[in-house]
Amino acid sequence: MIRLLTVIGARPQIIKAAAISRAVKEHFRGQIEEKILHTGQHYDANMSQVFFDELGIPAPDYNLGVGSGSHGVQTAKMIAGIEEVLISEHFDGIILYGDTNSTLAGAVAASKIHIPVFHIEAGLRSFNMTMPEEVNRIVCDQLSSICFSPTQTGVDNLKREGFIDSQAKFKNGKGRLVINSGDVMYDNSMYFATLAEQKSDILTRLGVKSNDYILTTIHRPNNTDDSERLTNILSSLLSITERDGITLVLPLHPRTRNLLDKNLNAAVYEKLMNSPLVKIIPPASFFEIIVLEKNARIVMTDSGGVQKESFFFERPCVILRPETEWVEIVEHGAGIIANADPKLIVEAYDKLIGIKPVFPPLFGDAHAAEHILQKINEYLS
Ligand code: UD1
């Protein structure tokens, strides 16, 4: 029996891990045993526990409870905690997701004691080294035995960094392997879409109708911590809602909530808080966000996950960042990069509202988790 340790910590990783845990249970019983370690990077109930409940993920076997802190302090505590678990229990491999500090910590801890690292959502690049995520994902990819990329773009990025994408060559000796596995987030979105609509009454609670609101999320530090960017984004959104009489639904990440009154221009803050067209809500659960994405007229976000889920549910997306890792969304005209530029934000909104973009199947076959576990099983057997 192969023993794998899955490391999660931040909200999107908990969601991604659900697809792997489900595939272990349904397809690899008796072959793979999975244990879950939660670093505690996200700890509020609506940033963590709610996803375990909704997605049926087993409770973590280990919880490091590291909480928030500077990058160095937070990551260091995680490395120490993960190393201790890896040493005291016998694991054959570690599964890591995405690009957070929890991912980085898992990669450093495991590779130093020669435990194979399997990186899910590998190969993505923003080519912006000021993003902590870019640093985390590059280091994790470099330390991985197998990189599982959700897209062909990710495979191409890693091939340029010396990875090989041929299993035959990999078996013959050296090298690091990259595989286009498809996206575990796509697995989950397809698996839970119908159930989410049955279980969540979020549209009724908010009093919004399908196709009649903008969904926005903002949580990236370069937007929340920079007063000018935050003000530009939110004032542009307010001007669109006022001009078109369209509602704005804004689930707020705790980082954004904590910085809003400090970093947002006072007049814009007042308007945002008092506009009848703006619905500010706490961080959404997975079912809630799926329903909100599926029914939005348009999505405007700085989140990578929300960009992608909008695409899965065939909703156009304005990207509130200077670049994106999900370049195929932009290449296919389903998303436009508007950064935090008021003119570009309004132009992107107007353009996407007026067209019907195409949403080709770019993110796999909704069985990425099974493909990933099959490869890990072969590699470790
Ligand atoms: C982290 C990831 C980011 C991912 C995001 C998903 C890193 C470097 N960044 O960013 O890639 O897109 O998760 O949400 O790992 N906080 C709470 N309660 C919580 C968690 C956080 O109040 O449960 C607040 C704290 O003030 C904390 C801040 O949010 O300092 C930021 O949390 P942190 O985990 O450091 O980074 P995220 O912005 O969530």
The DSSP secondary structure of 311-377, one letter per residue, reads: HHTT--EEE-SS--S-HHHHHTTSEEE-TT-HHHHHHHHHHHHHS-------S-SS-HHHHHHHHHH
- Can you point out the beta strands (E) in the chain? 2-8, 32-38, 62-63, 93-97, 117-120, 146-149, 177-180, 213-217, 247-251, 278-281, 298-301, 317-319, 335-337
- For the Cβ of 15 lying below 6 angstroms from any atom of ligand 1, the answer is no
From 70, 77, 252, 253, give the residue whose CB has the most ligand 1 atoms within 8 Å, as the site to mutate: 253
Confidence of residue 172 (pLDDT cuts 50, 70, 90): low
* Mean pLDDT across the chain: 96
- For the Cβ of 68 lying below 6 angstroms from any atom of ligand 1, the answer is yes
Please, what's the largest Cα pairwise distance for the chain? 65
Residue positions annotated with a catalytic role: 219
pLDDT at 167: 73
From 8, 16, 41, 130, give the residue whose CB has the most ligand 1 atoms within 8 Å, as the site to mutate: 41
- For the Cβ of 269 lying below 6 angstroms from any atom of ligand 1, the answer is no
Atom 33 of ligand 1, nearest CA residue: 68
pLDDT mean over 59-87: 98
- Apex 10 CA angle, 5 and 16, nearest 5: 60
Q: Quick check: 149 pLDDT over 60? A: yes
Q: Quick check: 245 pLDDT over 70? A: yes
Burial class (CB in 10 A: 0-12, 13-18, 19+), 316: buried
Quick: pLDDT tens for 292-332. Answer: 999 999 999 999 999 999 999 999 999 999 999 999 999 99
pLDDT at 226: 97
Question: 100: CA distance to ligand 1 center in Å?
Answer: 9
Quick: pLDDT tens for 87-125. Answer: 999 999 999 999 999 999 999 999 999 999 999 999 999
| Closest ligand 1 atom, residue 224 Cα | 38
| Closest ligand 1 atom, residue 221 Cα | 38
pLDDT mean over 32-46: 97
pLDDT at 176: 86
Instruction: State the DSSP H helix or E strand holding residue 115, giving kind and residue range, or none if neither.
Output: none
- For the Cβ of 43 lying below 6 angstroms from any atom of ligand 1, the answer is yes
